[in-house]
Structure 1
Amino acid sequence: MITTKDISFKARDLNDIELQGRLFFPENFDESQKHPAIVVNHPTTSDFNQTSGRIYATKLAKQGWLAIAYDSPYQGRSAGEPHNSEIPYARTIGVMAAIDYLDTLPYVDSDRIGAMGICGGGGFTLNAAKFDKRIKAVAGVCPADVGTIYRETFGQNDKTLIENLEDMAKQRTAEAQGAEVKYIPALPASQEARKEAGINDIDIEQAIDYYLTPRGHDDYAPNRYVYSVIPMMLNFDPLSLADKLATQPLEIIVGGVPGAFGSYRFGYQYYDAAATNDKELVVLPGVSHYDLYDQPEPTDKAVAKLNDFFGKRL
């Protein structure tokens, strides 16, 4: 039976704001020995009580791995204001801060640390691995390029994108002058609202079913994010310099059913761009993006691939 331990640690590149997380120990863990460890990064607007901790860190621990899942800066139980901000730099720093913490543990082998992420957390983790070479092997499960997703959402054309950026700039000015922080919903509030908005994409439909129902809902992951920080997302590109810097062994696992969150296409794009020759792209036929969040058969297949991948490289 696995055991867990709630932890906190500092993100020293973000003025030492405190992050909350959880260690997942395999059965009969021996603290007198050095062990490899895997960092598990949650999706956007999420927390570690959802898929990263509940599914992936738990299942990896059952496979014998020491895993760490945590709430990213500005999200979940972790510190950072305005809360529920989705900031690429901070999300990337979160991965590095988790490794900093692992480096302090006497039972972790600092030369055998891997990292993985789900959805947007996958994109941020792949981004971190480009320049943090403490990550010896990296994986993405339905990894998403949230920069492209946000640009497509807020900029159906260049004119619209600039208009939205100008409005976000005005909101940031207002907040600097004392206005309340503006939040916008990450998803339509219900399936009925989705239909009324004319949205028929499978990823949006299943996201609502995951995040806004007991299936995946968590109070620390409200359906909202800060409007004035969206420009940082619009400028984010995890593919940048991947052809030069993405040198670690790479595993990408996606579902074969494409949708709005783009993990199917991004998986191919990042696989093609990555500099490493030690890489694999696994496509699970008939599996959707959100099937890889919590559905037993797809997640078991994903974890089996992760176990094999990390096992051979850590």
Structure 2
Amino acid sequence: MTDEGKIPNTPDLVSPERRTVIIGGAALAAVAVAGTAGSAFAAGPDMSRGADNFYKSDRVTTEDVRYKNTYGMEVVGTLFRPNQMEAGRRYPALVVGHPYGAVRQQAANLYATKMAEQGFVTLSFDQSYWGESAGSPRGAVLPDVYVENFSAAVDFLGTREFVSRENIGVIGICASGGFSIAATKVDARIKALATVSMYDMGEYYRTGIKGERAVETRNSDLQIAAANRYKEAETGQPIHGPGQNDPVFLEAAESRDFYSTERGLVASNDRRTTPATYAKFMNFYPFVGIESIAPRPILFVVGGIAPSRGYTDKAFEMAAEPKELVVIDGANRIDLYDRTEIIPFAKLTSFFNQHLGDAA
């Protein structure tokens, strides 16, 4: 990629809505396995197109940190700092949020490392109830706390002597795209926002990716949640399980290739969730009021063939200017977790340099 955030020999198609199409620098192979329940899956992970989730950099210093959110819950994160930092200078900073059901070592640390290489101070963190952060039962759903944790990360960064608290932005990956939109609406300290492969978890549990979750399915899920709550109240023990009745998850194949193989597997994350708490997503509407984020800018990055692309398209349509949509032609949702050849890091760098001050 060039310093301007474009891939060589690729047209930059800009409409009045500031829409940009970026085509991957390497040919994108079609997903060979359909995302159907019970389908056979390749024994080895697809490590093509620069898949490098566990990337490390000798140009970046890392430090695990602990801090409290506003509810007094301990949050565990990793702070990334460029090695070449000038004493006494305050640097622009980025909070990076991981996908739902993940931990910071899955996608978030890669983005945090790459952006720290570009001169930003970055912070990834485990959401409450996940990874090393506090919260019980494990795998619980509480969108308000997920959203709060972005503001808690801003608290932490903005109180570091080497961070410019007037120049803090956010990158939200997958479900964290929705959580970070909700956080940015109410936290004026977040000066610029980028979402990648964004998911609206509320809309997913209400209607699915393409309307496949019928009313009967949602009602069945709510009945399961209600029954589980009684069982948990009677036994004092959380019930873990899938929590939904969808016969097919449209993005299952690529999810399994990342989370269930050495490509993205983290031993400490068993991805167990608590179905009794899924109902909380039904009341989560992150896009309502998204226009209030303006005049702070939003960059939306999405894979062109991701079934969940509709969430990004909807948010982009609803958001006010300044906004920009970057479509990675031929990429699915998980491709943008770790495939370094097609993730538009140069575009992310130029976007945040423009709106937070040049980090280089």
Q: Deviations over 1:250-287 (max 9, x none)?
A: 1000010132xx1x111111111113x11100001111
Q: 1:251 aligns with which of 299, 324, 336?
A: 299
Q: Match of 2:45?
A: none
Q: Which has the higher contact order (CA 8 A, sep 6+)?
A: 2
Q: 2:289 aligns with which of 238, 241, 250?
A: 241
Letter in 2 for 1:313: H
Q: Match of 1:285?
A: 329
Contact preservation (8 Å) 1:184, 1:225? yes
Contact preservation (8 Å) 2:243, 2:278? no
Q: Are the structure 2 counterparts of residues 109 and 157 from structure 1 closer, same or farther at C-alpha, using a change threshold of 3 Å?
A: same
Q: Match of 2:146?
A: 91
Q: 1:183 aligns with which of 240, 254, 262?
A: 240
Shift of 1:172: 1.6
For 1:219 and 1:63, how far apart are their aligned partners in 2?
30
Shift of 1:245: 4.3
For 1:290 and 1:165, how far apart are their aligned partners in 2?
28
1:6 aligns with 2:51: no
1:136 aligns with 2:191: yes
Shift of 1:186: 8.0
Trace 1:29-68 onto structure 2 (pairs within 5 A). 29-53=85-109, 55-68=110-123
1:297 aligns with 2:341: yes
Letter in 1 for 2:319: A
Contact preservation (8 Å) 1:251, 1:280? yes
For 2:338 and 2:287, how far apart are their aligned partners in 1?
27
Report SS of the residue matched to 1:296. coil
Q: Match of 1:194?
A: none
Q: Deviations over 1:196-229 (max 9, x none)?
A: x97483x210100100111001123213211111
* TM-score, normalisation: structure 1: 0.89
Q: Percent identity?
A: 33
Report SS of the residue matched to 1:182. coil
In the alignment, structure 1 segments of 5+ residues that lack a partner are 189-196
Shift of 1:184: 1.2
Q: Match of 2:218?
A: 161
Q: Match of 1:172?
A: 229
Contact preservation (8 Å) 1:187, 1:208? no
Q: Which moved more, 1:243-252 or 1:35-44?
A: 243-252
Q: 2:268 aligns with which of 213, 216, 220?
A: 220
Q: Are the structure 2 counterparts of residues 186 and 98 from structure 1 closer, same or farther at C-alpha, using a change threshold of 3 Å?
A: farther
- Number of residues of Structure 1 aligned to a counterpart in Structure 2: 296
Contact preservation (8 Å) 1:187, 1:223? no
- Pair member with larger Rg: 2
Q: Which moved more, 1:73-82 or 1:26-35?
A: 26-35
In the alignment, structure 2 segments of 5+ residues that lack a partner are 1-58
Q: Match of 1:193?
A: none
Contact preservation (8 Å) 2:243, 2:274? no
* TM-score, normalisation: structure 2: 0.78
Higher helix share: 1
RMSD: 2.1
Shift of 1:310: 0.4
Q: Are the structure 2 counterparts of residues 60 and 9 from structure 1 closer, same or farther at C-alpha, using a change threshold of 3 Å?
A: same
